[in-house]
Amino acid sequence: MPTAAAPPAVLLIQTAFIGDVILATALLEYLHRTEPNTPVDFLVRKGNEGLLKGHPHVRQVLVWDKKQDKYRGLLGLLNQIRSTGYGRVVTLQRFASTGLLTAFSGAPERVGFDKNPLARFFTRTAPHVLEAGVHEVTRNLRLLAPGYTGPVVPPRLYPSAADEQAANEAVAAAGGQPYICIAPTSVWFTKQYPEAQWLKLLASLPPEYTVFLLGGPPDTAACQRLLELSGRPGLMNLSGRLSLLASAALMRGAVLNYVNDSAPMHLCSAVGAPVCAVYCSTVPAFGFGPLSPFSRIVEIEEPLSCRPCGLHGHAACPLGHFRCAHDIRTEQLLTVLSEVVRL
């Protein structure tokens, strides 16, 4: 008997930040489970394609270079998308650029959020509302399954054998002891636990743990400053030395990972790594919280009338005091470590 033809391919579009791409991988898991024969391509911004390297549920990764010939590249992508003949194009963003790729893709099904400026050209839209208790993954899943109310599907990344080896070599070079990872930085200043606070934690962590500082190349200087100011034995700066997937593999083996409300938190979610997420100016109610089996959130214990001061954060505290970060006690973070060690 002739082999049945594969269904028309799906294109998922998420050209925002690293964390957004990681959360979008939950849709890959959902599609693999519900439509296992449907080919899926994924469009990301240049620099984020490494997250999907070797992903078993992605046929092809498309890349948009936003820093060089941005709009010429956008038109080139539109031509590529139209010539591919997708059956369904889904944009997870609420911006005109990705709305254009979706609206004029030529796909029979064009799906996106109703807040997209080109939503009137979509065949179906879903609301994007920040509701307490609703995770961003669920909001995204409603683009595939209208009104989805099922369990949150965790995002998932797939580190390669080379990524696993890089993580193992880092641990071995540090002596092979149990370790803790700290990802101390964030793109947004008011999402970032302050340097002085991290130094208090480093001084208080039990001495038997190796501590790895993690981040990308832009974070290396900040991590090096922490290392030098701390003077803690067994503290190592791996910032800029590991790929995102190798970092995820390393975090998966940690006793605990201390992170901000930022991309490393989502890396933990995508590999099930134990995580303590420190929330400063933002709040978990926005729906971007950690999804690891062991996930704890630490935030200021008393309410602040100015918190949250925005969805993404600011370059500085709008009121100048930054109490949402400075009033978090080191003991709160140490309590999470005690809890995970007891498990």
Q: What's the structural domain count of the chain?
A: 2
Residues 140 and 168 in one domain: no
pLDDT at 5: 72
Does the pLDDT value for residue 192 go beyond 90? yes
Residues 118 and 255 in one domain: no
Residues 55 and 174 in one domain: no
- Examine residue 150 and state whether it is found in any structural domain, yes or no: no
Look up residue 39 and give its two tokens. 């080919």
Residues 249 and 131 in one domain: no
Does the pLDDT value for residue 1 go beyond 60? no
- Examine residue 138 and state whether it is found in any structural domain, yes or no: yes
CA dist list (Å): 199 to 231, 274, 295, 327: 10, 21, 22, 14
Which pLDDT tens digit goes with each residue over 100-124? 999 999 999 999 999 999 999 999 9
CATH number at residue 102: 3.40.50.2000
The whole-number average pLDDT for the span 219-241 is 97
Residues 135 and 277 in one domain: no
Domain extent for 213: 161-342
Average pLDDT, the chain: 96
Residues 81 and 229 in one domain: no
Which pLDDT tens digit goes with each residue over 253-264? 999 999 999 999
- Examine residue 1 and state whether it is found in any structural domain, yes or no: no
Contact predicate 96/46, CB 8 Å: no
Residues 331 and 184 in one domain: yes
Contact predicate 19/92, CB 8 Å: no
Residues 261 and 318 in one domain: yes
The total of other beta-carbon atoms located within 10 Å of residue 155's CB is: 24
Give pTM, 2 decimals.
0.95
